[in-house]
Amino acid sequence: MRALLCRSLEEGIDGLRVEDVPPPGLSPDGVRIEVHAAAMNFADTLLVRGRYQEKPALPFAPGLEVAGFVLEVAPGVQHVLPGERVVALLDHGGFAEEAVARASEVVRIPEEIDDATAAAIPIAYLTSYLALVERARLQPREVLVVFGASGGVGLSAVEVGHGLGARVIAVASSHDKLATALDRGADDAVSYTEEDVAARIEELAGGADVIYDPVGGELFEAGLHAINPGGRILLVGFASGTVPQIPANHLLVKDAAALGFSIGQFRRHQPDRVRAALAELLRMTVEGRLRPLVSQVLPLDRAVEGLRELQVGRTVGKLVVRPR
Ligand SMILES: NC(=O)c1ccc[n+]([C@@H]2O[C@H](COP(=O)([O-])OP(=O)(O)OC[C@H]3O[C@@H](n4cnc5c(N)ncnc54)[C@H](OP(=O)(O)O)[C@@H]3O)[C@@H](O)[C@H]2O)c1
């Protein structure tokens, strides 16, 4: 099969090459999938530089979420069958013609949803849904501020927060990006390149009850200044490259909480919850309550171009690779 391989962590994205390799073996609890769409994540850009939590043995193909047809299932797997169309989470290996997922992380795709859209759902929407509902306990009419609001996870947080009845304030670097967030349900938009983020949040809504932060750096600091008493700031990622240090006295004075969220921990410790949530997110998409944005679909030979754009924060919504 053809796969986009990482053979060294020195070169990162620049070292990735499409090669012919044997398909991965079926694990005892596995489902083999003919990959028709694989969505990109910022994490892929970290994975190929050895900067992600997980460090797969070399060589490996990046790619953490796929959609396609089931080719084969391990003995005992009953909830999906060969020939069915499924979406799956992976540890890696999605940018390839075939991938093997744990059966517990595979869900059938409703016929109304195409492969590219299905592949774009798991990581972004599971992260936003579980972080906002289970970790931050976001309530209707609370003020939710989303940083990186047009990116993969950010845009999904805008939609999920809007769906939960929150007042959503989107924060991003450009007017085009903010227009996308407004189209997906944000009530207000703040450009952090032109405005004082904390002051503008204060002016718009009096402060933030929940802040969803996949960016870190200076935005995190602005978030801390804007947070309301009893507020929660969700640490989702550090796309800016700067991991913020949290002044504990600030949390005390504001009676606020900083909450870490990791989809990886959820996948490890609550796989049933993750699969149920993914099925629910697919249902919400069928009902039109979520509108995942796939901004570009690329062939495997051009996947590197997409990863380069993603690494520097130039993409909007999700990019998808078609390995076949
Ligand atoms: N905790 C979890 O379970 C979990 C799950 C999924 C993703 N994440 C993390 O969340 C972060 C975002 O992931 P994603 O897939 O949504 O990425 P993405 O689509 O690239 O979005 C990241 C956003 O960050 C902003 N940004 C600011 N400075 C940046 C920089 N120097 N380089 C790149 N982007 C920059 C960009 O928006 P502006 O131009 O508007 O600033 C960009 O849209 C990553 O750190 C990822 O690892 C965490």
Decide: 217 in ligand 1 pocket, CB within 6 A.
no
Decide: 318 in ligand 1 pocket, CB within 6 A.
no
CB 182 within 8 A of CB 201: no
The architecture (CATH level 2) of 124-264 comes to 3-Layer(aba) Sandwich (3.40)
pLDDT tens per residue across span 118-141: 999 999 999 999 999 999 999 999
Answer yes or no: is pLDDT of 40 > 90. Answer: yes
pLDDT tens per residue across span 222-278: 999 999 999 999 999 999 999 999 999 999 999 999 999 999 999 999 999 999 999
Decide yes or no: CATH 3.90.180.10 for domain 2-120+293-322: yes
The residue extents of the domains of the chain are 2-120+293-322, 124-264
Decide: 219 in ligand 1 pocket, CB within 6 A.
no
Pick the residue whose CA is nearest to atom 47 on ligand 1: 43
pLDDT tens per residue across span 42-61: 999 999 999 998 899 999 99
Say how far apart CA 181 and CA 150 lie, in whole Å: 6
pLDDT score for 261: 98
Beta strand ranges found along 44-150 (DSSP E): 65-73, 85-89, 98-102, 106-108, 143-146
Say how far apart CA 40 and CA 122 lie, in whole Å: 11
pLDDT score for 53: 87
pLDDT score for 31: 98
User: What's the predicted TM-score (pTM) here?
Assistant: 0.98
pLDDT score for 290: 97
Decide: 180 in ligand 1 pocket, CB within 6 A.
no
pLDDT tens per residue across span 234-244: 999 999 999 99
